[in-house]
Chain A
Amino acid sequence: MGKILVVDDDRTIRMLLKLILNKVGHDVLEAFDAKTGLSVAELESPDLILLDLMLPDMNGLELLDTIKKNKQLEKIPIIVLTGSTDQENKLIALRNGAVDFITKPFLHEEVLLRVKTQLKLHNLINSLENAVSILEKDLVAASRIQKSLIPSSPPEGYFESIHWIYEPSHKVGGDIFDIIAIDEKTVLLYLADIAGHGVNAAMLSVIVHRFIEDYCDNHPNFELGKFMLELDKNFRFNDFKLFFTVTAALFHNDSKTVEITNAGHPAPILIAEDIFELKESAESIIGIDMLKGSTKSYNISSGARFFLYTDGVTEATDDDGQLFGSRRLMESLYKYRNLELKNQLESVFYQLKAFNGSKEFEDDISIIGIQFQ
C-alpha cells in the first residue's frame, strides 16, 4: 500500500478521499493549499499525489509545474482532480507531467482503480530504474576489465613509434588488440572485432585476448597461419553464437618485413611513398570453418607507417546516413602523413568525429598506427 498526499481546499473532498483510500490500507496525508502541499511533499516524499486544480493560493497547474521541476519530487506520479467541464486544464495537466485525472464527482471504485494502476506503474518504473542502474554498474566494471587488457606500454625496441585510438561504444565493446613480443626480433600485433557490443561481446573479447596471450607463450616457433587456424578451431560460431574478424601482423625486424593475415577484417593500410591497402591475404571470418591460414609478406621501409582499424571507423555515418568509408579514411591518413604519428591519428579521429556529428558512435572505434624504424 502507498503513502498518498491529497491536495484540495475542499475539506469534504479530502475527507471522502481519505475514507476511500484508508479503507484499502493506504496512508493519506492532507494539504488544503499549494504551499502546504509542497512542504508536505518535500517532507514526506509520498508515493502519489492527488492534486486539485483549483487551490486558494496558487493554480494547481502551477503547483504541478513546481513539483515536476523539483529534482526530489519530479518522479512522484500526480493525478489531477478536475471538474467535468475542465477539458482544457486536463490536457494541460497531462501535457505537463500529470499521469492521469479524476473528474469530480467521482466513484469510489474509480479512485481506487486509478490510484492502484499508477502506484503499480510507479513501482515498476522504480524497479526498472534500479535494475538498469545495477546493469550500468556491471557495464562500467566490465569496461574497466576490458580497458585493462589494452597494452599500457607496448614492448619497446620494435618500432620507431606506435599510437592508437581506442573508443569502445556503449561503454563496453567488441574491439580488442594487443602487441606481443615473440622474440627479440619479432613482434605480433593483432586487432580483433567481436560481433556486437555490450557484455556478450566484451566477454568474448576477453576470452580471445587471453587465448592469444596463452598461445603466444606456448608457441616459441610461432607461425601466423597456424595461429589463425587455431583461432578458427577454438572459436566456433556454433559454440559462441558470435563471430569475430581479426587482422594479425607479424613484424620481423631482422628481415624488415611484415607478414599479414586477415580474417574478414578491413585491410591494413601502409603509407610509404604512397598509400596502399594490403588486401592480398584476406580470408573469411573466424569460427565458420572457412579459413585456410594464408598469409602474405610485405617489405617495410624505414619511416613507413602501418595502420590497422576496425569497421566502426569506416561505418560511422554523417547526418545523411553516408558512410565515412575506407576512401575517406585513407585520404585523411594521407593528408596528415607529415605530422607525428600521434598527431596524425588524433587529426584523423577529429575528422571522423566531425563527420559523425554530435551523435554517439554506433560501433567501437579502433585505429592503431605504427611507424617503422
Chain B
Amino acid sequence: MFKVEKVNGTCSVIKLKEPTRITGEISIEFREWLLKQKFEQSKAVIFDADNLIFIDSMGIASFIALYKKLSQSRIPIVLCGLSPDLKNLFMMLKLNTLFDIDCDSVSMALERFGR
C-alpha cells in the first residue's frame, strides 16, 4: 500500500501505490510502517499525496510522530500535491509550520529540498 524510494540518493519519497483514504485501520498501519522506515540519512522526506484521497486525525498523527522522530536531525518533511481540502485541513491545524505543504509535485519538492 505504501512504498518508499530513494531519489537522487538524497531524498526519500513516500508514495501510495493506489488511491487511498488513510483512515481508521489504515492510519494505524501507516503509522507503524512510517516509523519503521530509516530516514535518518535523507536530506528530506517527501510524501507524494497524489494518490491521497483523505487522511484522518490518526493519519496526521503519523506525520507528527515522524516529525518528532526526525526533529533532532532537522530533516524537513514535505507533503506535496495535497488536494485543496487537505491543504486547508493542515492549515486549520497550523501544521504548515511543521511540514512544508506548498509543493505541488515531487519534482518541485526535489528541486527545493533535494540539492
Contact = CB atoms under 8 A, between A and B. Distances in A.
B24 A321 contact: no
Interface in A254-285: 264-266, 282-285
B17 interface: no
Main secondary structure of the interface of A (DSSP, over half): loop
A93 to B, nearest CB: 33
Nearest to A264: B93
Interface residues of B, number: 21
B85 interface: yes
Contact of A238 (B27, B58, B68): B68
B64 interface: yes
Contacts of B97: 284, 290
A362 B23 contact: yes
A196 B61 contact: yes
Contacts of B68: 237-238
Contacts of B93: 245, 264, 284-285
Main secondary structure of the interface of B (DSSP, over half): helix
A266 B93 CA distance: 9
A234 B19 CA distance: 37
A264 B92 contact: yes
B95 A284 contact: yes
A315 B64 CA distance: 20
Nearest to A196: B58
B107 interface: no
A52 interface: no
Interface string A341-363: 00000000000000000000011
Contacts of B85: 323, 325
B75 interface: no
B34 to A, nearest CB: 13
A196 B27 contact: yes
Given A196-B27, A323-B85, A363 B94 contact: no
B56 A362 contact: yes
A8 interface: no
Contacts, number: 58
A288 interface: yes
Nearest to B67: A288
Given A245-B93, A282-B92, A285-B95, A363 B61 contact: no
B70 to A, nearest CB: 14
A221 B27 CA distance: 41
B56 to A, nearest CB: 7
B94 A285 contact: yes
Interface string B37-65: 00000000000000001101110110011
A101 interface: no
Q: In the complex, which of the residues A195, A282, A315, A363 has the most CB atoms of chain B within 10 Å of its own CB atom?
A: A195
Contacts of B24: 197, 362
Contacts of A196: 27, 56-58, 61
B14 interface: no
B92 A243 contact: no
Nearest to A170: B24
B51 to A, nearest CB: 14
Contacts of B16: none
B98 A195 contact: no
Contacts of A111: none
A304 interface: no
A232 interface: no
A241 interface: yes
Given A282-B94, A285-B95, A362-B24, A195 B65 contact: no
Interface in A210-257: 237-238, 241-243, 245
Query: Which 8 pairs across A and B sit closest by C-beta, in order of nearness?
Result: A284-B94, A195-B57, A264-B93, A196-B58, A195-B61, A285-B93, A195-B58, A323-B85
Interface of B: 23-24, 27, 53-54, 56-58, 60-61, 64-65, 68, 85, 89, 92-95, 97-98
Given A196-B58, A245-B93, A284-B97, 8 more contacts: A237-B64, A238-B68, A242-B61, A282-B92, A282-B94, A288-B64, A290-B98, A362-B24
9 contacts: A195-B56, A195-B61, A196-B58, A242-B61, A243-B57, A311-B57, A321-B53, A323-B85, A362-B24
